[in-house]
Structure 1
Amino acid sequence: MDFELSDEQRLLKDSAARYVRERCSFESWRRWRSEGRQPADELWSDMAEMGWLALPFAAADGGLDGGPLETMLLMEALGHGLLAEPYLQSVVQAGEVLRGSPRGPWRSARIAELIEGRSRLGFACDELTARYSRDLVRSTAERAGDGWCESPRVLRRLQLLRRWSYEQVEQVLT
């Protein structure tokens, strides 16, 4: 059994580590904050340009046919920097749901939007008050124009989570 990385895997690992070191350091974060910038769109576009958003998708879907090892190598590199982009939630988790969806125009369009960096997907599977029990999830999604958004109750809870400590949130939600 060969545990050595292939040339492509080493290239992925090294280029991701270099990118994170150069673009996602604490100093970069401080500079963005002082300039009042949110680098999310810029970084997400970079990730699409480098093919990272296409990594786990099949070539037939416009992807790079990467597997779990390639995804792990990339995520390990991303974890070394201050990178708040939702790669795990959008590309890995929601991407897995898309890959398992019936083939058709809707599926193809969503995968293309994600791979090209034009969208970020959310996989709503857990809720703080549900304590990982799917039977207790109360979140809903509502039609909003051409898309969907979470119910106002959920959005209100998310705002509370951003401003309050865990203990304060726990008191309100229980």
Structure 2
Amino acid sequence: MDFSYSEEQQMLQNSVSKFIQQDYDFDRRCKLVASDIGFSQENWQLFAELGWLMVPFKAEDGGLGGSAIDLMVVMEEFGRGLVVEPFLASVVLSGSLIANGASESQKRELLGLLMDGQLQLAFAFAEPQSRYNLADVATTAVREGDNYILNGHKAVVLNGEGADKLLVAVRTGGSQIDGNGITLLLVEANVEGVHRQGYTTVDGHRAAEVKFRNVKVPVANRVGEEGTALPVIERAMDWATLALCAEAVGAMDKIYKKTIEYTKTREQFGVAIGKFQALQHRMVDMFTEYEQARSILLMAALQLDSNKGMAPKAVSAAKSRTGKAARLIGQEAIQLHGGIGVTEELDVSHYFKRLTTIQYLFGSSDFHTLRFAGH
């Protein structure tokens, strides 16, 4: 079977790779992380102009085709560059909810703005008690006339601080962990009663705690039918999980190669440490883990493309395997670098932080292993 990229995919990869090499070095990234919003609006507009924000969406929605392989191409390069712009949170995760759950009029209104770089979205789904259970929703929305009255607390909302609109998973019926009765509402981020507390996460990205106190949301802002949002949420999470795995694979490739280069120059007892056979064996293990992770990522992407975006078992297999690989490669890279590996000044420590975060974002390896076994 031919696993090589198409000509268009190679052009896409080269476009992103060129941007990372020329305009997104480590020092510039550090300045973006330390800025007020945590990313560059200029970069975001450039992403829009180059068509990267259109990659996850189908042609009928104005996108570039919506292929999982195309998304993988972009996210691998973003992983190599440790990109902090909210592509995953705003475009991949939130965009999937709109593309697969919204009405035609809502899609026309929102997706165009999203792909043009004029709209920032965030998906508020996790709650302090929910762990990885997407059906554990305690935030409530009670219908009163033409409005819903929204109350609750959403935790670690990626891009929650910078979003213009929030997609919120709320309970309109059933018990707290019932799969039925979950509804998606589109909430203006600055409306009365929405309280956002933003912060920088350990890996340099941005998130927020969002609390809703008697927030009025028009019924017209409901995305999809009332009480039936869970399947749409699960599909969007799988799509985002694949993108996250691709980002991890790109980051693992970079940190592994940086470790190889370091062992060629760092000397101990008058010899480059890369010549020690015990360390060579460990670096071979890193390479093997990377190759296995990339292979299973490609399998999951192909499964998504051949099954109309639905491949939960393949996605869980990829996330489980990728999480284990990220753990081994990240920890080995730090140890082989020695004390310098944990300093803020060295980019390896930032790759390690991102890989550590990815292990637990959207479900840990243990969670996805059990999910895989259950399908």
- Matches of 1:103 and 1:33 in 2, distance apart? 36
Q: Which runs of 5+ in 1 are unaligned?
A: 164-174
Give 1:14 shift: 1.3
Give 1:135 shift: 4.9
In percent, how many aligned pairs have the same letter? 31
In structure 2, relative to structure 1, the CA distance for the partners of 1:114 and 1:34 (3 Å cut) is closer
In structure 2, relative to structure 1, the CA distance for the partners of 1:25 and 1:108 (3 Å cut) is same
Taking the TM superposition and a 5 Å limit, the aligned residue runs for 1:156-167 are 156=197, 158-159=198-199
Partner of 2:85: 85
- Indicate if the aligned counterparts of 1:139 and 1:151 stay in contact, CA closer than 8 A: no
Residues 1:41 and 2:41 are matched in the alignment: yes
In structure 2, relative to structure 1, the CA distance for the partners of 1:128 and 1:16 (3 Å cut) is farther
- Matches of 2:7 and 2:70 in 1, distance apart? 12
Partner of 2:98: 98
The structure richer in strand per residue is: 2
Partner of 1:107: 107
Larger Rg, first or second structure (1 or 2)? 2
The two structures, once aligned, show a CA RMSD in angstroms of 3.2
- Matches of 1:95 and 1:130 in 2, distance apart? 23
- Matches of 1:134 and 1:61 in 2, distance apart? 27
Partner of 2:14: 14
TM-score, with structure 1 as normaliser: 0.74
- Matches of 2:7 and 2:26 in 1, distance apart? 30
Give 1:86 shift: 1.3
- Indicate if the aligned counterparts of 1:25 and 1:82 stay in contact, CA closer than 8 A: no
- Matches of 1:94 and 1:33 in 2, distance apart? 22
TM-score, with structure 2 as normaliser: 0.37
- Indicate if the aligned counterparts of 2:39 and 2:84 stay in contact, CA closer than 8 A: no
- Letter of the 1:74 counterpart: V
Q: Secondary structure at the match of 2:83?
A: coil
Residues 1:121 and 2:161 are matched in the alignment: no
Q: Which runs of 5+ in 2 are unaligned?
A: 142-149, 151-163, 165-186, 203-375
Partner of 2:65: 65
- Letter of the 1:65 counterpart: G
Q: Which structure 1 residue ranges, 4+ long, deviate > 6 Å from structure 2?
A: 33-37
Give 1:130 shift: 2.0
Please say which of residues 66-75 and 18-27 is displaced more in the overlay: 18-27
Residues 122-170 of structure 1, C-alpha deviations (whole Å, 9 max, x = no match): 122223442123454445796x9xx523843xx34x55x769xxxxxxx
In structure 2, relative to structure 1, the CA distance for the partners of 1:139 and 1:19 (3 Å cut) is farther
- Matches of 1:19 and 1:124 in 2, distance apart? 30
- Letter of the 1:63 counterpart: G
